[in-house]
Amino acid sequence: MQQTAQFLAIALAGVSLGWIMLFSFVLSPVAYKALDGGRAERLVKQVMNSGHGVLGLIALLFALAALISGAVAGASVAAIAGVCAFMCKFALAPRNDKPIRGHRVLKTARIVASAITALLMPVLIAAIILTVIGI
């Protein structure tokens, strides 16, 4: 049971890493180079709003599988990655609400969200290592 949970955790982590690489290093940069600003913004916004929730859920499932396999530290680190993915969706994704003061710089918000999404990669790699070791 623990071995199966460990394999499932590693597979879920691989899916999470693949999504992060696709979004941060392929979709976002290519959208802003190939499309005009408005279309690229809408595309990235739509992908973030739909994909980052799934990413957070997959990372939390990875944490659950790692916990079942006995890797408590790996589960904790994976859970942090899942929470950060939800943070990218709800806090950093470009939104339609009005800013409290001044104006919101949407391009900066997208760059920050893409960068934070990319920064989840080392966290997930650390969670994989901790899960494989069984810590």
Proportion of the chain in helix, strand, coil states, percent, rounded to 5: 85, 0, 15
pLDDT at 104: 56
Question: Residue 33 pLDDT > 90, yes or no?
Answer: no
Question: Residue 27 pLDDT > 60, yes or no?
Answer: yes
| pLDDT tens digits, 45-92 | 888 888 889 999 999 999 999 999 999 999 999 999 999 888 888 766
Quickly list H helices, 70-135. Answer: 72-87, 106-133
- Nearest by Cα to 1 from 62, 59, 67, 68: 68
Q: Show the tokens assigned to 34.
A: 């190939």
pLDDT at 83: 93
Residues 3 and 107: beta-carbon distance below 8 Å:
no
Q: Show the tokens assigned to 59.
A: 């990372």
| pLDDT tens digits, 92-106 | 655 666 666 666 555
Q: Show the tokens assigned to 51.
A: 């994909």
Q: In angstroms, rounded to a whole number, what is the distance separating the alpha carbons of residues 34 and 95?
A: 22
Q: Show the tokens assigned to 107.
A: 């391009």
Q: How far are the Cα atoms of 81, 98, 105, 113 from residue 102, in angstroms, in the given order?
A: 32, 9, 10, 20
pTM of structure:
0.85
